[in-house]
Amino acid sequence: MKKICIYILAATLLYSFFRELNVVKVLLMLAALAAIFAIDLIPAKYIMAMKYPVILLSFAATACFFFYPRALTGYPMEIIITFLAFYGLTFYMAGMEEKKNDFFKEVAAVSILFISSSFNLFIAGKLLFIVPLAIATILLLFILDRNRLTPFIAGYALIAMIVAYRQGIHFTGTGLLGLNDVNRYILLGASFAFLVIGFAGFTKKRTFATILPFFGFLYIAADILMVLGLRSSTGLLYQPVILLAIVSPLVGVMLKPEGERI
């Protein structure tokens, strides 16, 4: 019953991303639902094993950007770069509670991953994506009682905003066009419902499989609030294909049984 409800909620959330449907958008929604189903079938231990390959790919993208800034730019590479930037940090955050390191190791790891993700997003032209990512990271660190790490993330986010300002990037715009009140409430309701479900699983048991979707939907909620509330000039809602690539794995992991061993 839980899985059926989550699938219905996922279909509702995916619909709210596109609003006006056509053949291509319907196919993208079906592909996202198929990806959710496939991820649900993969044992959790194999998903956790993807942690280091994803992080290494994110670092590889950073190294490639550093030496060849235009090598990986443009569509569809920006989808892959955004995916790696998000999940490179997310996989580490999801494993922090199970593998506790000392303060200096955690500062070094979080700093390197966050700066690498920020640099990748900057080169890919998605610099403002860092702001909701920083908000979600700070909130999760606070919940995990890693308060001493939060000033570092806040500082990196502030530097990113200063760079964005110097680059002439506008923080606010006209808002998301073509979004009526009904679509707005569906979008807010579905995303908030996923955040509540993720938080409920997180409070029951703090594992990789519960922290990952909770952190992911913290990020998505922060992004949606920035776009709808603050009228941010960029965000995941402006890039529905990237949003699908990020949301699908989160929902797939959320569908896994709570008692499944990692």
- What is residue 259's three-state secondary structure? coil
- In tens, the pLDDT along 109-155 reads 889 999 988 888 888 777 778 888 899 999 999 888 888 888 999 99
Check if the beta carbon of residue 236 is closer than 8 Å to that of residue 246: yes
Q: What is the pLDDT of residue 215?
A: 92
Beta bridge partners, 232, equal 172
- State the amino acid at position 166 in one-letter form: R
Question: Which of 234, 246, 219 shows the shortest CA–CA distance to 81?
Answer: 246
Backbone angles phi, psi at 172, to 5 degrees: -125, 155
Q: What is the pLDDT of residue 138?
A: 92
- In tens, the pLDDT along 83-93 reads 888 898 899 88
Q: What is the pLDDT of residue 177?
A: 60
Backbone angles phi, psi at 160, to 5 degrees: -60, -40
Q: What residues in the chain have per-residue pLDDT under 70?
A: 19, 69-74, 100, 170-180, 231-234, 257-262
Check residue 148 and report its DSSP letter.
Answer: G
Helices (H), the chain: 2-18, 23-41, 44-49, 51-67, 77-95, 103-123, 130-143, 150-166, 181-204, 208-228, 240-254
Q: What is the pLDDT of residue 214?
A: 92
